[in-house]
Structure 1
Amino acid sequence: MSFLKPLTRTPRSRWTTTLRTLATEASTTGAIRDCTRITPPYAKLVSNLEKVKRVLDNRPLTLSEKILYSHLTNPEEVTPVRGQTYLKLSPGKFE
C-alpha cells in the first residue's frame, strides 16, 4: 500500500478569492422612466366594461369576464352568452 499517497487539503485561505460586500441601492437620479407607452388605456377599458354591464342588466361579473369584456371592440353590439357567442377582442399589447 505504499503506492497510495495521503490526501492533502489546500488551505482555506486559498478558497476565498472573492471579496463579499453588502448590496447598495442604485442611483435613480437622471433616469426618469416614461411609462406612457406601457400603461394600459384604463379610461377606455372602464367605459367598455360599463357598457357591457348595462347590456347584461348589471349582473355581477367574475374577474375573467371583466378582463375579457373590457377588451371588446364594440361592446354595444355584443350580447355575450357563455358557450354560444364569439367575442371580437382587441387586446392592447402582447409584451
Structure 2
Amino acid sequence: MKMDERYSNATYGSAGLAAFFASLSLQDWGFIIGVAFSIILGVLTYRLNKREQMKRTKILQDILNKTDSSNPSATAKVLADLGQKAPKEI
C-alpha cells in the first residue's frame, strides 16, 4: 500500500523542519530571539516616532489655522494659549 504523496511530503517536510530546529544550539536560539526582539522594538519605535510626528504636525497646522497674519498680537495670544496646553498633553 503506497502512502499518498501529499502526506508523504508533509511528513518529510515536518521531519526536516523538526531536525533543523533540533540542531540549533543555545547560542543560536539566543541569537534568533535577540534578532526577533530587535525587529519588534524597531517597528514599535518607528510607530511611536511616526505618531509623535503626526501630533507635532497637527499642532503646527492648528497654529497656522488659528493665526491671522494681519494681527500679530492675536497670533501671539494663540501661541501663548497653545503653549499652555502643550505641557498637559505630554
TM-score by length of 2: 0.28
Structure index of larger Rg = 1
Q: Identify the structure with bigger relative contact order (alpha carbons < 8 Å, sequence gap 6+).
A: 1
Structure with greater proportional helix content: 2
TM normalised by structure 1 equals 0.27
